[in-house]
Amino acid sequence: MVTTSGRPAASTSVPLAPGALPVVGHTFSLLRDSHAFLTSLPSHGDVVRVRFGRSDTVVVCTPELTQRVLREDKVFDKGGTLFDRIRDWLGDGLGTCPHSRHRRQRRLIQPAFHHTRMPAYGAMMTRQIDAVTGGWHDGDVLDLQSEMGTLSARIVVEAMFRDALPEHLLKQAVDDVGVVVRGLYLRASMPAFLTKLPLPGNRRQIAARARLHRIVTDIITERRASGTDQGDLLSALLAARDTGEQGDTTGLSDAEISDQVMTFFASGLETTALALVWALRLLAFHPEVEQRVLAEADAVLGGGPAQFDAMRDLALTGRVVTEVLRLFPPAGEMFTRTVTGDTTLGGYPVAAGTTVMYSSCLIHHRGDLYDDPTRFDPDRWDGESRTLPPREAFIPFGGGARKCIGEQFAVAEVVLGLATIVSRWQVRPVTARQTPPRTVAEWRRLGKRMRVTSRQNKE
């Protein structure tokens, strides 16, 4: 094994997972069925090595080692080719910056997600959920992923800018956020020279990012001049002052705020949209759970859209969302870190420069941590009737100092969206399939198109 610095790595003593092919290594196994590949790794040890092309990656397979990687973020830092390319595109925001700049950014941004701001964010979520789903018609067949993507984009843009954008600019910003985010990982993983070619996709992404930057820059300039707190994320970022550790009471620069805005757009769009899509798919094939969620929504909402102050009463809906986050972590199946200094993992030496990978998918599907882990069972999270899974074995938002800062925001959006949709619409895949898929791969092969039927018309 060779590290990113070009020198041999001591972590070659970590056992290599079986099935590596000449030249390509485990790449085909990962592409063919990533879930099956990742969940097979614990059977080969607590720490295993996988090979993608000529590059080796060390994978941690236990919750204890995963938590160590997450918590020791100075040793296991964000970095590597993928992160570097994403950073070049999105900027040096909270989700992409290295450890050396993370603590200051976290201190400055944390007030934007203080619990006292959540009711205002929740009211904004309710308005957008009501508006988007209120535009559906009985019998419509929708590309639900696109529809939920539009909803999430409208929420994240309004949360950031409140009423700063007129409707035509709001629509343009929502479209541009979608273009920038959905092309992010493709752009980051393709050869660098391809991103510079005047291909239609490249031109579209570059133009969308440029428009977003202009919008952000104009609003920042206007807000600094007015000095008023609009109750949105941007106001919180502008007001932030660094008073911790060696903080000198300085705030974020315009460039730093712009990078944070782009990071929030990237992290807040596809993740919540996918969580809503998976929740609606799972309920469609588990009508007995869906009926319980509907009964809860009817009792709590009284016919209106879900409000933030109803969250505590939507307990079952919350458990459904938690189970969705376990089965299909929307932020991704695997994440990498770069080792900054020689260390050990599970008793094996690991050299500086080694890429280490952890996987929420792998941990969430360990049979020794979760009873019947492939089964959709929201009641496994009912602490009054069941023994809860270990806390360290649930990591859809990461962990340690770099745990997702918007966790509460994201969960609120999905719970409010799911409760409102289920209370008003029956959502079913456009497929002849009557029984639930048996594997994650089968779930993923379900089409995006789903039919919405008004519950009001059925009554």
- Would you state the pLDDT for residue 194? 78
What is the predicted pLDDT for the residue at 18? 95
Angstrom distance (rounded) from CA 136 to CA 456: 13
How high is the pLDDT of residue 171? 83
Task: Taking residues 171-177, report their average pLDDT.
Answer: 84
Which residue pairs, CB below 8 angstroms and at least 24 apart, start in 304-307?
305/126, 305/129, 305/130, 305/416, 305/420, 306/126, 306/129, 306/415, 306/416, 306/417, 306/419, 306/420, 306/423, 307/122, 307/123, 307/126, 307/416
Q: Looking at residue 358, what DSSP letter applies?
A: E
- What is the per-residue burial (b if ≥16 Cβ within 10 Å, else e) of 202-226? beebbebbebbeebbeebbeebeee
Low-confidence winner among 32-36, 105-109, 298-302, 440-444 (lowest mean pLDDT): 440-444
| Per-residue pLDDT at 5 | 45
How far is Cα 34 from Cα 50, in angstroms, rounded to an integer? 13
Residue 185: burial class (beta carbons within 10 Å; 0-12, 13-18, 19+): middle
Count Cα atoms within 13 angstroms, Cβ side, for 448. Answer: 10
H or E element in which residue 450 lies: strand 449-454
A 10 A CB-CB count for 438 gives 9
**CA neighbor of 317 nearest in space, from 349, 336, 291, 347:** 291
Amino acid identity of residue 318, one-letter, is: G
Given this model, what pLDDT does residue 4 score?
A: 47
- Token pair of 73, please? 């973020």
Supply the pLDDT for residue 299: 97
**Using 50, 70 and 90 to split pLDDT, how confident is the model at 141?**
very high
The answer, as to whether pTM is greater than 0.85, is yes
190 CB-near residues (< 8 Å, 6+ apart): none
How far apart are alpha carbons 76 and 358 in whole angstroms?
A: 11
2 confidence band (pLDDT: 50, 70, 90): very low
224-275 pLDDT, tens digit each: 888 888 888 998 999 888 776 555 578 889 999 999 988 888 887 778 999 9
> Would you tell me how many other CB atoms lie within 10 Å of the CB of residue 78?
21
Residue from 352, 348, 336 nearest 66 by CA: 336
11 falls in which pLDDT band (50, 70, 90)?
A: low
Give residue-wise pLDDT tens across range 74-128. 999 987 666 777 888 888 889 888 999 999 999 999 989 999 999 999 999 999 9
Question: What is the mean predicted confidence (pLDDT) over 412-425?
Answer: 98
Structure-model confidence comparison of residues 339 and 250, the more confident one: 339
Q: What is the pLDDT of residue 81?
A: 66
pLDDT given at position 448: 81
| Residue 203: pLDDT over 70 | yes
- The predicted pLDDT at position 70 comes to 96
Integer Cα distance of 354 and 60 in angstroms: 13
* pLDDT averaged over every residue in the chain: 89
pLDDT at 322: 98
pLDDT of 8 > 50? The answer is: no
pLDDT at res. 123: 95
Return the pLDDT at 189. 61
Directed axis angle between helix 407-424 and helix 287-301, to 10°?
Answer: 100
What would the pLDDT profile of 292-321 be if each residue is shown by its tens digit?
Answer: 999 999 999 999 999 999 999 999 999 999
What count of Cα atoms within 13 Å lies in the side-chain half-sphere of residue 260?
A: 28
Q: Strand, helix or coil at 452?
A: strand
Please check whether residue 57 is in contact with residue 11, taking contact to mean a CB–CB distance below 8 angstroms. Answer: no
Compute the average pLDDT of residues 49-65. 93
- Per the model's pLDDT, the better-predicted residue between 188 and 113 turns out to be 113
